[in-house]
Amino acid sequence: MPRGAGAATAISPEAVIATWYKLVLELVRHTATYSPPVASRTFGYLGVTTWEIVAQFDGLTSLAGQLNDLTPPPVTDRSLDQAAVLHGALSTAVGKLFENTGPTGQRALKAMVEKLGAKVAGGLDPVLAKASLNQGAAIAGHILDWAATDGGAVVENMGFPETYALTDGPAHWVPTSPIRMQQLPLLPGWGKNRPFAMKGDRPCGLPPPPDYSEDATSAFHAEAMEVYTTVKGLTDEQKAIARFWSDDPMLSPTPPGHWISIFLQIADRDKLPAPRLADGLARLGVAVADGFIACWRVKFEYDLLRPVTYIRRLIDPKWDPLLITPPFPEYPSGHSTQSAAAAAVLTAMLGPDFAFEDATLAADGLPARSFTSFDAAAREAALSRLYGGIHYRAAIERGLEQGACVGAFAAGLKTL
Amino acid sequence: MKYLLPLLLASPALALAEGPAVPNFVAETGGIAHQFTGEWEFMVGGGVAVFDCSGDALPEIFLSGGTSPSALYRNKSGAALSFAKAEDSGLEMDMVSGAYPLDIDADGITDLAVLRVGESRLMRGLGDCKFEDASATWGFEARDLWNSAFAATWEKGADWPTLAFGSYIDRTEDLFPWGTCTENLLYRGKKGQFGAPLPLKPAFCPLSMLFTDWNRSGTPALRVSNDREYYKGGQEQMWHVAPGEPPRLYTPDEGWARLRIWGMGIASNDLNGDGFPEYVLTSMADTKLQTLAEPGPETKPRYADVALAKGATAHRPYTGDELKPSTGWHAQFADVNNDGFADLFIAKGNVSEMPDFAMKDPNNLLLQRPDGTFEEAGDRAGVASTLTGRGAALADLNGDGWLDLVVVNRNGPTEVWRNGGTAEKVNWVALVPLMEGQPNRNAANAWVELRAGDRVQRQEVLIGGGHASGMLVPVHFGLGAADKAEARVIWPDGTEGAWTPAEVNKVTVLAK
């Protein structure tokens, strides 16, 4: 692997990337604006940042010109130290993308910059180390300048708008939470953000959900009844699946972070070299970010009510879903879309029958789950929303289809 | 418009809009000049304890100081508030985050449980506002923790209190402190000595605890409000604490429903008059007001959140130009306008330069209307300070029957307001339940009830809750325009005292 001339850094580029991402997964969980769409965006930009550095050191293909509006980043002198450039870049990028995190996050960021920085600089000529860190910061700055123009850079009031006109009519979303700020939907404009890799007008759109009906013989009513009866009769395994993929903001690394975590576990297990690690993080970040953009656009296009609203109105006024119903329209399921998008890129990268174990939530007391393929994991993640009582089947199935479409854009990027 | 005005004036809506009478709080430090200071390790805490140690019935004020020394202020108030800093009380110490008064040894002299970032201390009252560290004497095995919560009760048959100490984060972890919640401990004792503490496992970084008889069973449980910022796999908790048995968590099978919030403070009051306490839990960007979903003799601990319906979400500043979400800390129910309906005070303040949350975050004073909803009046009452509030206490500091207010601010001056009352002619009753000669001398977890006409108000005597702040003062009730009432105590052992006439506008001892 190319390294800076005379470099004797005590830590590998892979370790620098993995260590920073470990912190990022915590910061996502502990930064108040980090709802799943916001998290996905950050994973997109961090993945691209990481890739552009590794690609330069390894003579691989830049994503500039492939991703929408991304111009070539500053060129790196390959005599610089790769680990130090990565540390400089991730220090800058993570610092900026989490500049609003709380005091404990800021303390951890500072400690990471200093402690990991000391490891990175250990054994390096100080002039080389400084130049490497500066180059990393310059590349990160280039990516952050690009990020600033995508429409998603500013998130206020934890993503809830100050004003928003709810759509009239019984078919449409109404608040489901007793939390005051969640009386308006989360990030209604997110679907207008600039995608990373998706091209064209309204890419990866979806047909409408089944026609809304209160008729007990209608397809829509049948979907609601399926949610109702499923939740009423949940098995222990179904409950475990629902909770495993619940991925609530502020209580987990969120759905996109869950898939980043899956990939990091595989990378650690299989000792993926920096190009493979960075390639995966970039594609995965792009896939989940585009997944949320496509999904949110469709959510606010159809603006469908949640199962809890319909079921309490027409079937059982005392019914409770297993999971917390998210505060935005139902169709399609965001987790389904982004999980299928993630599975698409990981399958393209690692193969269709790639078995793995996912211990993302071990520290939360949820045991690891094993999967025979990324598709199997994505399907389980999608179905977990039915078990959780927060999505109808159409949102799950169309969400998976949408994710496959989104993932194809990310999988089609030229890198290695 | 001119044609509409008479109609509006005559409308019932306008009558409702008049709302509860707003008390006039007058900023009056009375000589208190104190700050709770510190950075990361003091981003939480900042408590105040209010209790009488001089014997003049005017409560003193003990203030935590963080990296600054804690301080006791003797109460010298007349009509105006006036305090004198005690220079040699024995309570001057560093790293103090909060405090709760209680009479541990039942000698009639109030002691103080002092929460510290480090080893907490049990300070024995010696009289005349002097204290000594009795931790070792009482066999209290303090541990070097970021102590953040406290509650106490006297279990049935016990001759010594049971103390619960909650702690926060492993403060040696700088890179990955999340998921490092340190231990919570339950100290039981007998014959003047605490035994080795029992772990309250799992521990989820509590910022408030409360022993409370939530189901009126006669055996208080321990409610713990936990900060989701730091736990993994955690939630709000309630423990069975049955005499002679290890503490045991309430489970989903018993009806306990999972709730995960940035739990910061707890307060309780029977707001709806059904005999069971409601609970308020402060948090960030939200407040929970919990009422039992199915109250009754066989009730399960399943709560409905009625904060939105009751107008008590206190989720963002209501005055000033900031629209970002709020950060709530100390919570306390108290009838500040003496109209007979418990009001709710919440101290507000940014954790520490969190840009997504209001930096100028006014305290809430939510006045309860007769229909059980709340109306914000902090600005009109004069307590809408935008300093970084943490702990607080509402207590009658000058004996005039109006509850005054102390708020501890992080890295800012402690604020004190004298409650100048309202223009209404209202009455009040203050009651001191007392079990002289018994271990639980101040009747912790007794229920004090006041009946005026066909309406009964009730409060549980609590040691714990709020945010790092406790009081040992008479139980205060507003009476509104009523000029007579009856009071009784349901004692911790379940004995129901007889209804007896309560002296209006006076402090009355109800002895068992």
Q: How far apart are CA B203 and CA B228, in angstroms?
A: 11
Domain C-terminal end among A114, A147, A180: A147
Q: pLDDT of B250-295, one tens digit each?
A: 999 999 999 999 999 999 999 999 999 999 999 999 999 999 999 9
Q: Are A283 and A47 in contact (CB under 8 A)?
A: yes
Q: How far apart are CA B2 and CA B5, in angstroms?
A: 5
Q: Are B441 and B207 in contact (CB under 8 A)?
A: no
Q: Residue B266: which of B115, B459, B464 has the closest Cα?
A: B464
- The reply to whether residue B352 touches residue A103, judged by beta carbons under 8 angstroms, is yes
Best residue in B148, B175, B281 to probe A by mutation, most A CBs within 10 Å? Answer: B175
What per-residue confidence (pLDDT) applies to A416? 81
Mean pLDDT of chain A: 96
The Cα-based distances of B36 to A109, A173, A402, B169, B327 in angstroms read: 26, 46, 54, 20, 18
Contacts of A107 in chain B (CB under 8 A): 40, 174, 177
Indicate if A131 and A163 belong to the same structural domain: no
Q: How far apart are CA A233 and CA B512, in angstroms?
A: 53
Contacts of A102 in chain B (CB under 8 A): 229, 351-352, 354
- The reply to whether residue A111 touches residue B356, judged by beta carbons under 8 angstroms, is no
Backbone φ and ψ of B357, nearest 5°: -120, 155
Helix and strand totals (H; E) in chain A: 13, 2
Domain C-terminal end among A147, A176, A192: A147
Q: pLDDT of B160-186, one tens digit each?
A: 999 999 999 999 999 999 999 999 999
What count of CB pairs under 8 Å joins A to B?
A: 89
Contacts of A111 in chain B (CB under 8 A): 174-175
CA B55 to chain centre: 23
| Alpha-carbon gap: A284 to the closest alpha carbon of chain B (Å) | 24
The Cα-based distances of A19 to A22, A90, A331, B63 in angstroms read: 5, 10, 36, 42
A234-246: average pLDDT = 98
Please check the confidence at residue B15 and state whether its pLDDT lies above 60: no
* 3-state DSSP assignment of residue B60: strand
Q: pLDDT of B228-245, one tens digit each?
A: 999 999 999 999 999 999
- The reply to whether residue A181 touches residue B284, judged by beta carbons under 8 angstroms, is no
- The reply to whether residue B308 touches residue A102, judged by beta carbons under 8 angstroms, is no
What per-residue confidence (pLDDT) applies to A10? 78
Tokens 């390639």, located at residue: A279
ipTM of this complex prediction, to 2 decimal places: 0.94
In a domain? residue A79: yes
Report the CATH number at residue A334.
1.10.606.20
Best residue in B204, B232, B310 to probe A by mutation, most A CBs within 10 Å? Answer: B232
Please check the confidence at residue A182 and state whether its pLDDT lies above 80: yes
- The reply to whether residue B178 touches residue A107, judged by beta carbons under 8 angstroms, is no
Structure tokens at B105: 């040894």
Omega into B202 within 30° of 0, i.e. cis?
yes
CA B209 to chain centre: 10
What strand order describes the sheet that includes B485-490? B455-460, B447-452, B485-490, B500-502
Query: If interface means Cβ-Cβ distance under 8 Å, which residues of chain B face chain A?
Result: 39-40, 43, 169, 174-179, 228-230, 232-233, 260, 284-286, 305-309, 313, 315-316, 323-325, 351-357
Q: Residue A13: which of A106, A112, A119, A92 has the closest Cα?
A: A119
- The reply to whether residue A181 touches residue B351, judged by beta carbons under 8 angstroms, is no
Of B40, B228, B308, the CB nearest to A103: B40
What per-residue confidence (pLDDT) applies to B7? 35
Q: How far apart are CA A339 and CA A256, in angstroms?
A: 8
Q: pLDDT of A100-110, one tens digit each?
A: 999 999 999 99
CA B178 to chain centre: 27
Indicate if A167 and A235 belong to the same structural domain: yes
Q: How far apart are CA A255 and CA A198, in angstroms?
A: 20
- The reply to whether residue A180 touches residue B351, judged by beta carbons under 8 angstroms, is no
Please check the confidence at residue A396 and state whether its pLDDT lies above 50: yes
Indicate if A255 and A389 belong to the same structural domain: yes
Indicate the number of domains in chain A: 2
Report the CATH number at residue A54.
1.20.144.10
Phi-psi region at A106: left, alpha or beta (left = phi > 0; alpha = psi -120 to 50): alpha
What per-residue confidence (pLDDT) applies to B489? 98
| Alpha-carbon gap: A178 to the closest alpha carbon of chain B (Å) | 6
- The reply to whether residue B175 touches residue A108, judged by beta carbons under 8 angstroms, is yes
- Chain B residue with CA closest to A363: the answer is B232
Q: Which amino acid is at B484?
A: K
- The reply to whether residue B175 touches residue A100, judged by beta carbons under 8 angstroms, is no
Of B179, B229, B316, the CB nearest to A363: B179
Indicate if A132 and A172 belong to the same structural domain: no
Helix (H) or strand (E) holding A50: helix A36-58
Of A26, A99, A250, the CB nearest to B228: A250
**Burial letters for A256-285: b for 16+ Cβ neighbours within 10 Å, e otherwise?**
bbbbbbbbbbbbeeeebbbbbbbbbbbbbb
- The reply to whether residue A30 touches residue B316, judged by beta carbons under 8 angstroms, is no
- The reply to whether residue B356 touches residue A33, judged by beta carbons under 8 angstroms, is yes
Best residue in A28, A119, A176, A179 to probe B by mutation, most B CBs within 10 Å? Answer: A179
What per-residue confidence (pLDDT) applies to B504? 98
Q: Which amino acid is at B48?
A: V
Omega into B101 within 30° of 0, i.e. cis?
no
From the number of C-beta atoms within 10 Å of its C-beta (0-12, 13-18, 19+), residue B136 rates as exposed
Structure tokens at B202: 């799992």
- The reply to whether residue B323 touches residue A157, judged by beta carbons under 8 angstroms, is yes
In a domain? residue A17: yes
Residues of chain A with pLDDT > 70: what percent?
98
Domain C-terminal end among A124, A147, A170: A147
From the number of C-beta atoms within 10 Å of its C-beta (0-12, 13-18, 19+), residue A358 rates as buried
The Cα-based distances of B108 to B85, B103, B299, B335, B510 in angstroms read: 23, 7, 37, 27, 15
Indicate if A143 and A164 belong to the same structural domain: no
Range of the domain at A61: 13-147
Structure tokens at A94: 């993570």
Of B233, B305, B352, the CB nearest to A365: B233
Q: Which amino acid is at A46?
A: L
Best residue in B253, B354, B410 to probe A by mutation, most A CBs within 10 Å? Answer: B354
Q: Residue A210: which of A108, A332, A109 has the closest Cα?
A: A332
Q: Are B396 and B406 in contact (CB under 8 A)?
A: no
Please check the confidence at residue A127 and state whether its pLDDT lies above 80: yes
From the number of C-beta atoms within 10 Å of its C-beta (0-12, 13-18, 19+), residue A313 rates as middle
Contacts of A366 in chain B (CB under 8 A): 233
Indicate if A73 and A209 belong to the same structural domain: no
Indicate if A124 and A197 belong to the same structural domain: no
Please check the confidence at residue A92 and state whether its pLDDT lies above 60: yes
Q: How far apart are CA A365 and CA B234, in angstroms?
A: 9
In a domain? residue A153: no
Helices (H), B167-293: none
A378-404: average pLDDT = 98
Please check the confidence at residue B358 and state whether its pLDDT lies above 60: yes
What per-residue confidence (pLDDT) applies to A259? 98
Instruction: Please give the angle made by the CA atoms of B468, B474 and B480, to the nearest 5 degrees.
Output: 110
- Chain B residue with CA closest to A158: the answer is B356
Indicate if A252 and A382 belong to the same structural domain: yes
Three-state SS annotation for B326-360: CEEEEEEEECCCCCCCCEEEEEECCCCCCCCCCCC
Query: If interface means Cβ-Cβ distance under 8 Å, which residues of chain A face chain B?
Result: 22-23, 26, 29-30, 32-33, 99-100, 102-104, 107-108, 111-112, 115, 156-158, 162, 178-181, 248, 250-251, 363-366
A261-290: average pLDDT = 98
* 3-state DSSP assignment of residue A355: coil
Indicate if A122 and A215 belong to the same structural domain: no
What per-residue confidence (pLDDT) applies to A83? 98
Proportion of chain B in helix, strand, coil states, percent, rounded to 5: 5, 40, 55
Indicate if A203 and A301 belong to the same structural domain: yes
Structure tokens at B225: 């409000």
- The reply to whether residue B175 touches residue A112, judged by beta carbons under 8 angstroms, is yes
What per-residue confidence (pLDDT) applies to B14? 36
CA A114 to chain centre: 27
Helices (H), A70-179: 82-97, 103-121, 126-147
* 3-state DSSP assignment of residue B418: strand
Contacts of B228 in chain A (CB under 8 A): 250-251
What per-residue confidence (pLDDT) applies to B466? 98
- The reply to whether residue A29 touches residue B178, judged by beta carbons under 8 angstroms, is yes
In a domain? residue A357: yes
Q: How far apart are CA A128 and CA A107, in angstroms?
A: 27
Indicate if A114 and A166 belong to the same structural domain: no
CA-only gyration radius of chain B, Å: 21
Contacts of B40 in chain A (CB under 8 A): 103-104, 107
Contacts of B351 in chain A (CB under 8 A): 102-103
Indicate if A290 and A238 belong to the same structural domain: yes
In a domain? residue A247: yes
In a domain? residue A28: yes
Q: Are B334 and B345 in contact (CB under 8 A)?
A: yes
What per-residue confidence (pLDDT) applies to B18? 77
Contacts of A359 in chain B (CB under 8 A): none
The HSE-up count of residue A317 (CA atoms within 13 Å, CB side) is 0
| Alpha-carbon gap: B225 to the closest alpha carbon of chain A (Å) | 16
Helix (H) or strand (E) holding A339: helix A334-350
Contacts of A179 in chain B (CB under 8 A): 285-286, 308, 313, 315
- The reply to whether residue A364 touches residue B174, judged by beta carbons under 8 angstroms, is no
Neighbours of B122 (CB within 10 A): 26
What strand order describes the sheet that includes B343-348? B328-334, B343-348, B364-368, B374-376
Q: How far apart are CA A182 and CA A160, in angstroms?
A: 7
Residues of chain A with pLDDT > 90: what percent?
97
Structure tokens at A410: 């990310």
| Alpha-carbon gap: B357 to the closest alpha carbon of chain A (Å) | 8
Question: B244 or B5, which is more confident?
Answer: B244
What per-residue confidence (pLDDT) applies to A2? 42
Q: How far apart are CA A128 and CA B15, in angstroms?
A: 76
Question: B13 or B459, which is more confident?
Answer: B459
Please check the confidence at residue B1 and state whether its pLDDT lies above 90: no
In a domain? residue A6: no
Mean pLDDT of chain B: 95
In a domain? residue A82: yes
Contacts of B323 in chain A (CB under 8 A): 157, 162
Sequence-separated (6 or more) residues with CB below 8 Å from residue A237: none
| Alpha-carbon gap: A361 to the closest alpha carbon of chain B (Å) | 9
What per-residue confidence (pLDDT) applies to A8? 58
| Alpha-carbon gap: A99 to the closest alpha carbon of chain B (Å) | 9
